[in-house]
Structure 1
Amino acid sequence: MSIDFITLAPTVMQVFKAGDANPKKVKRIVYGQATSDANGIATLYFTDNALANGNPLLSTIDYAVASVYSTNPTINLRPRVQMREKNISGKYVSANITNISGVTVLGINVLGSENPVSGVIVDFMILGSFDL
């Protein structure tokens, strides 16, 4: 069994384990960061060139998770992250980033709505397989 670390881009690291029961497949863990756009969508491309036109590092995505970090003391202004898509071709994952706005009556938020938030850095962790 071996564990290899390969740096693919400044914010993407790949870890994979060789020597599984099926030698034609390798499990990989891919970590990366992406920034949300004006629509509140953060997309991480985990390809050999970190772009949509690159070759995928995974054949299948088994599991993906996203998280954001915020120290904002106002709960409504803290960004929230929700997984949006695991791409079927194993090239990218995306997440929605929102916060809540609304009317406050007697200290209670009533009529709240979720709004997209841009410029938020999202951490992604993806577990998948790659065919050798």
Structure 2
Amino acid sequence: MSIELFSQAPTALQVYKAGDPNPKKIKRIVYGQATSDANGIAKLYFTDNGLANGNSLLQTIDHATSSVYSTSSTINARPRVQMREKNVTAKYVSANVTNISGVTLLGIKVLGSENPVSGIVVDFMILGSFNG
């Protein structure tokens, strides 16, 4: 097995297996961060220039995850992240960032709703393939 590290934004780790029956098929792990916009959407472009018009580092997205870090001690103030989209052209992934608000009754939040949160940094990890 060979592991190759190369520096591009976002960071990528490339793995390919010696003796693979399809030696041109290479798995690549891409890590990157994106900040949520006013609609609570964080979108990470993993292209050679980090923009929508760039060339994708992948041909297919096999798996993607997102996570967010919070130091808030109030559970309702903590941002929540969930995957939104794996782009079919394998150029980007996106996630929704929300928090909960609602009416407090006897010290318990009830009738809560999820609201978009902007300015939250989201970590993405993507596993994909491309033909080398």
What's the TM-score, normalizing by structure 2?
0.95
Q: Does 1:122 align with 2:96?
A: no
**Which structure 2 residues correspond to residues 31-70 of structure 1 after superposition, within 5 A?**
31-70=31-70
Structure 1 runs, 4 residues or longer, greater than 3 Å off: none
Q: Which amino acid aligns with 1:18?
A: Y
Alignment RMSD, CA only?
A: 0.9
Counterparts of 1:89 and 1:6, CA distance in 2: 22
**Which structure 2 residues correspond to residues 72-111 of structure 1 after superposition, within 5 A?**
72-111=72-111
Structure 2 unaligned residues grouped into runs of 5+: none
Counterparts of 2:47 and 2:126, CA distance in 1: 13
Structure 1 residue 123 displacement after superposition: 0.2
Deviations 1:87-121 (CA, angstroms, capped at 9, x unpaired) = 01110000000000000100111110000000000
Structure 1 residue 7 displacement after superposition: 1.3
Counterparts of 2:7 and 2:64, CA distance in 1: 19
Q: Does 1:7 align with 2:1?
A: no
Structure 1 unaligned residues grouped into runs of 5+: none
How many residue pairs match? The answer is 130
What's the TM-score, normalizing by structure 1?
0.95
Secondary structure of the equivalent of 1:76?
A: helix
Structure 1 residue 19 displacement after superposition: 3.1
